[in-house]
Structure 1
Amino acid sequence: MNALPIATVGGALLAFLWVGLRARSADTTLDEYLTARGSQSATTLGLSFLASGLGAWILFVPPEIGAFVGPVALAGYAIGAALPFLVLAWCGPAIRRRMPAGRSLTEYAGERFGGAVRGWVLLLSLLYMLCFLTAELTAIGGIVALLTGQDGRWAVLAVAAVTLIYTAWGGLRASLATDRWQAWLLLALLAWVGAVVVQAPAPPPASTAAAPSAPAAAPLPVGLSVALTLVIAVTAANLFHQGYWQRIWAAHSERALQRGAWLGAVTTAAAIALVGGLGMLAAQQGLPLGTPPVPFFALVQHAPDWVVAPVLVLAVALVASSVDTLQSGIAALLVTQRRQASLAGARWATVLLMVPVVAVAWQGLSVLRLFLVADLLCATAAVPLLLGLWRRTPRHAALIGMAAGLVGAVLPDAWAAGNLWQGLVAATFPANVPTLAPFAGALIASTAATLTLAWLAPAREPAAGR
Structure 2
Amino acid sequence: MVSTTLVLGLTVMTLIGFTIAGMWYSQGRVGSIEDLITARNQAGANRTTATLVASVMGVWILFAAPEAGAGFGVAAVIGYAVGEAVPMYVYSRLGPRIRDLIPSGHSLTEYARARYGTAMYGFVVIVSGLYMFVFVAAELTGIAGALAFVADVPQWQTATLVGGFVLLYTGYGGLRASIFTDTVQAVIVIPLLAVAFAATVLALGGPTSVIGNITATDPTLLNPTAAAGFQFGLALAFAILGAELLNQTWWQRIYAGTDSESVTTAFRRATILNGVIVFIAAFLGVVATGHTDIVTDPASTAYNADVAFFVLLQTAVPEWVIVVVVLLALSLVMSSVDTLFNALSSLITVDLAQIYTESTDRQLQWIARGFTLCIAFAAVYVSVRAQSVLRLFFLADLLGTALAFPLVYGLYSERLTGVGALIGSLSGLTVGLAYFPDLRGFITAIPLVGPVLPSADPLYLTAFGGSFLTSIAVTIVISRLTTTRFDLDTLGTEITRLDDPIADGGQACAEESASTSSDIESNEHTSER
Question: Distance in 2 between the 1:253 and 1:398 partners?
Answer: 30
Cα deviation, residue 53, structure 1: 0.5
Structure 1 residues 190 and 87, CA, compared in 2 at 3 Å: closer, same or farther? same
Match of 2:481 among 428, 445, 456: 456
- Corresponding residue number in structure 2 for 1:13: 15
Counterparts of 1:192-207 in structure 2, within 5 Å, are 192-201=195-204
Q: Which amino acid aligns with 1:3?
A: T
Tell me which of 345, 349, 355 is aligned to 2:371.
Answer: 349
Contact 1:213 1:288 in 2 (8 A): no
Return closer, same or farther for 1:365/1:277 CA change in 2, 3 Å cut-off. Answer: closer
Match of residue 287 from structure 1: 292
Partner of 2:465: 440
Which residue among 172, 182, 189 is the counterpart of 1:179? Answer: 182
TM-score (norm 1): 0.90
| SS of residue in 1 equivalent to 2:271 | helix
Give the drift of 1:108.
Answer: 0.9
Residues 391 and 463 of structure 1 are in contact (CA less than 8 Å); yes or no, is this contact kept in structure 2?
no
In the other structure, the counterpart of 1:128 is: 131
Which residue number corresponds to residue 394 of structure 2? 372
CA distance in 2, matches of 1:331, 1:237: 18
Aligned to 1:401: 424
**Aligned mates of 1:360, 1:9 — CA distance in 2:** 21
Residues 62 and 275 in structure 1, CA contact (< 8 A), matched pair in contact too: yes
| 2:410 alignment partner, one of 372, 388, 396 | 388
Identity of aligned residues (%): 33
Deviation at 1:150?
Answer: 3.4
Alignment check: 8 A CA contact 1:212 1:288 kept: no
TM-aligned CA distance change 1:338 to 1:250, over 3 Å: same
Contact 2:231/2:459 (8 A) holds in 1: no
Residue 251 (str. 1) matches residue 257 (str. 2): yes
Aligned partner of 1:322 in structure 2 is: 336
What TM-score results when the alignment is normalised by the length of structure 2? 0.80
RMSD over aligned CA atoms reads 2.7
Letter in 1 for 2:366: A
SS of 2:293's equivalent in the other structure is: coil
Seen in structure 2, the aligned counterparts of structure 1 residues 362 and 69 have a Cα distance that, compared at 3 Å, is closer
Are 1:92 and 2:95 matched, yes or no?
Answer: yes
> How far is the alpha carbon of 1:151 from its aligned partner?
2.1
SS at match of 1:142: helix
Which region of structure 1 is more displaced relative to structure 2, 287-296 or 304-313?
287-296
Aligned length: 454
User: Partners of 2:17 and 2:33 in 1: how far apart?
Assistant: 26
* 1:76-155 map, 5 Å: 76-155=79-158
Query: What does residue 338 of structure 1 align with?
Result: 352
Distance 1:26 1:328 in 2: 18
8 Å CA contact 1:48, 1:264 repeated in 2:
no
Q: Cα deviations across residues 361-407 of structure 1 (Å, max 9, x unaligned)?
A: 23455575553122111111111111102233322321221122123
Residues 101 and 464 of structure 1: CA distance in aligned 2, closer, same or farther (over 3 Å): closer
Give the Cα separation in 2 of the matches to 1:326 and 1:10: 21
CA distance, structure 2, for counterparts of residue 357 and residue 424 of structure 1: 34
Aligned position for 2:5: 3
Deviation at 1:412, TM superposition (A): 5.9
Q: CA deviation at 1:314?
A: 0.6
Alignment of 1:17-36 (within 5 A): 17-24=19-26, 26-28=28-30, 29-36=32-39
Deviation per residue, 1:171-214 (Å, 9 max, x gap): 0001101100111111010001111111104599xxx9xx9679
Query: Per the alignment, in what secondary structure is the counterpart of residue 101 of structure 1?
Result: coil
- Give the unaligned 5+ runs of structure 1: none
Alignment CA distance shift 1:143-1:363 (3 Å): same
Report the secondary structure of 1:131's partner residue.
helix
Structure 1 position 79, deviation (Å): 0.8
- The 3-state SS of whatever aligns with 2:312 is helix
CA distance in 2, matches of 1:266, 1:312: 25
Answer yes or no: is the 8 Å Cα contact 2:235–2:465 preserved in 1. Answer: yes
Contact 1:387-1:393 at 8 Å conserved across structures: no
Structure 2 distance, partners of 1:425, 1:317, is 43
Q: Describe the SS at the equivalent of 1:442.
A: helix
Change (3 A) 1:434 1:92: farther
Question: By how many angstroms is 1:146 displaced?
Answer: 0.7
Compute the displacement of 1:61 (Å).
Answer: 2.2
**AA matched with 1:307:** V
| Mapped contact 1:111–1:465 kept (Cα < 8 A) | no
Where 1:14 maps in the other structure, the secondary structure is helix
Closer, same or farther in 2 for the Cα pair 1:444/1:422, shift >3 Å? Answer: farther
CA contact (8 A) 2:137 2:380 kept: yes
Aligned with residue 272 of structure 2, among 260, 266, 272: 266
Corresponding residue number in structure 1 for 2:504: none
Question: What is the CA–CA distance in structure 2 between the aligned matches of 1:464 and 1:64, rounded to whole Å?
Answer: 43
Q: SS state of the match for residue 120, structure 1?
A: helix
1:420 matches 2:449: yes
d(CA) in 2 for partners of 1:37, 1:273: 32
For the residues of structure 1 that align with 2:392 and 2:113, how far apart are their CA atoms?
Answer: 26
Deviation at 1:169, TM superposition (A): 0.1
Q: For residues 450 and 281 of structure 1, do their structure 2 counterparts lie closer, same or farther at Cα, with a shift above 3 Å needed?
A: same
Deviations 1:289-311 (CA, angstroms, capped at 9, x unpaired): 36322331233221111222111
Note the C-alpha offset of 1:411.
5.0
Q: 2:241 aligns with which of 226, 235, 240?
A: 235
Q: 1:243 to 1:426 in 2, by over 3 A?
A: farther
Q: Distance between the aligned counterparts of 2:453 and 2:349, measured in 1?
A: 34
Q: Deviations over 1:25-77 (max 9, x none)?
A: 52521011111001101111111111111111111222232233222221111
Partner SS, residue 485 of structure 2 = coil
- Are the aligned partners of 2:436 and 2:460 in contact in 1 as well (CA < 8 Å)? no
Query: 1:91-117 CA deviation, whole Å, 9 max, x = no partner?
Result: 111111111111100011111111111
* Alignment-mate amino acid for residue 234 of structure 2: L
Distance 1:438 1:85 in 2: 23
Which residue in the other structure is 1:300 paired with?
Answer: 313
Letter aligned with residue 477 of structure 2? T
